[in-house]
Amino acid sequence: MKITAIIERLIGYRTVQIGETDILPVISRAQKEKISVTFLPDGIIRVPMFLWKRVKEKVLNGFTYQVKSVRGIAKAAEKVKAHLGLTVGCALFVLLLTVMHGYVLDVRVTGLESENGQILTDLESAGLTLGSPWRKVDTEQIENTVLMTSDTVSWLNIERVGSVAYVTVKEKEPVEPQSEKELKKGNIVSKCEGIVEEITVKEGLPTVKVGQTVKTGDLLVSGILSDGSSVIAQANVRIRTVGETRVEVPRTAETVVTNGKKMISFRLKILNFFVNLNKRYGNLPTECAIIEDNKSLTFRNGVRFPISVFRKYAVCSETQSFDLADDALVESARTALHEKFLSEIGDADLNSVSVDFSLSEDGCVGTIRYEAVVKGGTFVPFSGETHE
């Protein structure tokens, strides 16, 4: 094989179609210019890529021709040029993945029954933050730091898989606090005035009988037994009592009107660096609440990209006053009275109930008067005394 043919296949060539009447003039001009080209049947000539510029200027100038095909390295170069943006993008993406492989792009926590927020905060404080170079992350030191500072973690393991930190956590067993009764011994006293309807003692020494009248604070069951020992007094005591529940609702009411949300700060966090894109605080009213919104960019597979968006908004509001109509005022008083009465009376057995509402220019007063049998005992621990 001639060396010219070898060069043609390595570097590439173009095949060009010329008219039949132009074949002889083109051959003559090529010989005159001493340019080596290959003439094929049907008016096709093959031109090596390294001669194409000279052939186009010296041989084909003035003739009509059409490039039929491009072969070799030249064809590949044309494809790369046609898709230059895609090629450069792919190259940059591969480069980015290669570089980012050395950074912490995501932290995934397993083993927690509660929310991950606190453990992520503890890990970040210990040195495991998004965007940190892996070469600066001492997993053993971070594990020890979190174990020493956390109140909920009993065991911790950090494992690196690529750019993701997998954190396995074991929580401490919750310790149920002892109730006040378990910690202290004491008596049961009356929490209202009335007549004892029922008294069933589980632990302790009863000091009253059924039918006896008692006042608020009277001793019902003693935690000190007849032999001088002390216990946690326990008993079911029900007292017939007469009571009153009262609420006052002013006629003037207030409502908070929100005037919309305004972004006052916009920042990007790239690795461990912040870029402020917008920061406008100005003079904000005192009624404005500041809300922060932080989001991390993620890939489709859930891996977080080392870029986070930090936005801060001001939500401003104002308080407006207005007067309630009589119907609305009574309804508001009825709702408040009902809620207060239920919280006070509990699961009492009601014998009689009367309800009254009184309107005035200033507001409405709601009153419930009742007779009921209620749980009338309350536990009172000894005041640091020892009765053993």
Tell me the DSSP string of 261-285: EEEEEEEEEETTEEEEEEE---S--
Q: Do residues 219 and 302 touch, judged by C-beta distance below 8 A?
A: no
Amino acid 97: pLDDT = 62
pLDDT at 79 over 70: no
- Domain stops at, among 42, 65, 80: 80
In whole angstroms, give the CA distance from residue 64 to residue 18: 6
pLDDT at 211 over 70: yes
- Work out the average pLDDT over 113-137: 79
Same domain, 125 and 167: yes
Q: Domain residues for 317?
A: 253-322
Domain of 58, CATH number, reads 3.30.70
pLDDT at 57 over 80: yes
For tokens 């104002």, name the residue. Answer: 318
Task: Quote the mean pLDDT of the chain.
Answer: 80
Dihedral angle of Cα 324, 326, 328, 333, to the nearest 10 degrees: 100
For tokens 């060069």, name the residue. Answer: 7
Lowest pLDDT segment from 8-12, 44-48, 220-224? 8-12
In a domain, 135, yes or no: yes
Angle (CA) 231 235 238, round 5°: 150
In whole angstroms, give the CA distance from residue 207 to residue 222: 7
Q: Over the stretch 10-35, which tens digit does the pLDDT of each residue have?
A: 677 888 898 888 888 888 888 888 88
In which region does residue 327 sit, left (phi positive, over 0), alpha (psi from -120 to 50) or beta (all else)? alpha
Q: Over the stretch 232-289, which tens digit does the pLDDT of each residue have?
A: 899 999 999 998 999 999 999 888 887 777 777 777 777 666 677 666 555 666 667 7
Q: Where are the alpha helices (DSSP H) in the chain?
A: 3-11, 23-33, 52-54, 73-82, 84-100, 117-126, 139-149, 180-183, 326-345
In whole angstroms, give the CA distance from residue 292 to residue 313: 6
Lowest pLDDT segment from 45-59, 276-290, 303-317? 276-290
Give the CA distances from residue 211 to residues 198, 201, 238, 241, in Å, rounded to whole numbers and listed in that order.
Answer: 8, 16, 11, 12
In whole angstroms, give the CA distance from residue 15 to residue 52: 10
- Domain stops at, among 125, 154, 171: 171
Same domain, 330 and 316: no
pLDDT at 178 over 60: no
The closest of 323, 355, 326, 325 to 340, measured between CA atoms, is: 355
Number of domains making up the chain: 4
Band of residue 363 on the pLDDT scale cut at 50, 70, 90: very high
Q: Coil, strand or helix: which one is 56?
A: helix
In a domain, 191, yes or no: no
Amino acid 385: pLDDT = 45
Q: In what order do the strands lie in the sheet with 289-298?
A: 273-279, 252-270, 304-323, 289-298
In a domain, 149, yes or no: yes
Q: Coil, strand or helix: which one is 377?
A: strand
- Work out the average pLDDT over 104-125: 78
Could you tell me the end-to-end alpha-carbon distance of the chain, in angstroms, rounded to an integer? 117
The closest of 255, 232, 125 to 182, measured between CA atoms, is: 232
pLDDT at 195 over 90: yes
The closest of 180, 231, 233, 167 to 206, measured between CA atoms, is: 233
CA 327 to chain centre: 44
In a domain, 180, yes or no: no
In a domain, 277, yes or no: yes
Q: Do residues 304 and 297 touch, judged by C-beta distance below 8 A?
A: yes
Would the pTM count as exceeding 0.75?
no
Spatial neighbors of 92 by CB under 8 A, at least 6 apart, are none
Percent of the chain past pLDDT 90, that is, above it, reads: 21
- Domain stops at, among 171, 194, 216: 171
